[in-house]
Amino acid sequence: MISGKAYAKINLTLDVTGILENGYHSIASVMQTISLYDEISVEKNNFGDIWVYSDGGEFADSMPLDEDNTCEKAAVEFLRYIKATEGVDIHVKKNIPSQAGLGGGSSDAATVLRLLNMLYNADLSYEELRGLGIGIGADVPFLVTGGCALCEGVGEVLTPIKTGLNGYVLLVKPDFGISTPEAYRLFDEKKLPYGNSSEVVMNSGNFSRLLSNDLEKAVANPDIEEIKRKLISLGASDSLMTGSGSCVYGLFEDKKTTDNAAKELSDYAFVGVYEPVSSEEVTS
Q: Are 153 and 25 in contact (CB under 8 A)?
A: no
Query: Which residue of the set 5, 9, 94, 230 is catalytic?
Result: 9
256 is a catalytic site residue: no
**15, 38, 108, 139: which one is catalytic?**
139
Give the H or E element holding residue 39: strand 25-45
Structural contact between residues 2 and 41, judged by C-beta atoms closer than 8 angstroms: yes
139 is an active site residue = yes
* CA 51-81-19 angle, 5° bins: 95
Residue by residue, DSSP assigns 52-81 as EEE---TTGGGS--STT-HHHHHHHHHHHH
List the one residue out of 78, 137, 133, 67 whose CA is nearest residue 103: 137
CA-CA distance, 94 to 24, in Å (whole number)?
28
* 102 neighbors 95 (Cβ within 8 angstroms): no
Q: What positions carry a catalytic annotation?
A: 9, 139
